Amino acid sequence: MRKTDAHALTALGVAVALALIPLLSIALKKDKAPLYVDDIIAIIDLGHYADTSKALLTGYNYYLLEKYAATHGIDISISLAGKEGSGLDSLRAGTADIVVEPFIDTLKRDSVLTSIPVDSMSVWLMSHQGRINDVNRWLDLYHNSEGFESTRSKFLHTYSPSRSRRRPCLSPYDSLIRAHADSIGWDWKMLAAIIYQESRFHIEVTSRRGAAGLMQMMPETAKRFGVVDALDPDSNIGAGAAYLKFLEKKFRNYGDNRTEHYKYILAAYNAGEGRILDCIKYAGLKGADVSYWQNIVNLIPEMSDPEAEFIDSLRFGTFKGKETIRYVESVIDIYNNFCRICPDQAPIQP
């Protein structure tokens, strides 16, 4: 071979190699997409699976999304899908990074990527290959981790306090409940009983009047006691505990003992402090001993009558009160069942 021909072949080889570099780079990226480390906007859109009779699926995915973000040291904003539109629409529009949807094998999701199943009922949807690869790796590690089965069971295996046998925990939020109960000097199982009565431990519950989250606080009350995000269990329980402490001080002069004091606080949490102060005032005007909640209960039926004696002297007027009476009884009953399930505290009398 002539020297000139050899030089020509060498030059051609270099040119070909240079041309192949971008293609090789693309192939490598496809094989191992880059890790996405940007902050995340996530939407939980579980539709009918958010019903309170189901497992704590929204709370479970909220927990996992926060855990995923914490693992990578990034911030995450998590919200529920609105009544109009869907999480999938937000994902396709580029206003969401991860969307949680029900796991339905036959559902076709064009132009989006689906994670491996988070559990038997939900998956995470994304638009970027790098993110989906990283999420799948993380979920696979989580599914094989030591605490996986225990954590999953707390969220997905629901129970009835009235029928449950002894168990090591009451909810996935026991550690938060204990911490916030300790901060106000309460028995943590009483705080847990209130949460169970209000939301059955479902973070996504919203009432027709707008009360939201685990402790079902009305927006104005939640804001007053520091809720930044009603969906966030820590924020919601913390604000609820702060409100209970406020009510405890408000009604410190009522209740002959700790049990009776609890009942006044529970009644005020349900009906509002103004209504219960009206009840106390009415009972006092009628000559009843307000040291005992039952004496209030006995007079509440009279307060539904607009012609009743002294009714015009009350700030909020008539009061039916049946819901509040049932509420106090129910929370006390749940509390006593929780003491039976986790027997480290003596029950109190209804």
- Which residues belong to the active site? 198
| Structural Rg of the chain based on CA atoms | 28
How, if at all, do strands 98-102 and 40-44 pair? parallel
**Cα–Cα dist 69/72, whole Å:** 5
Tell me if 211 sits within 8 A of 217, measured CB to CB: yes
Torsion of CA 193, 198, 204, 208, to 10 degrees: 180
Nearest Cα residue to 260 out of 191, 321, 332 = 332
Residue with token string 């029928």: 163
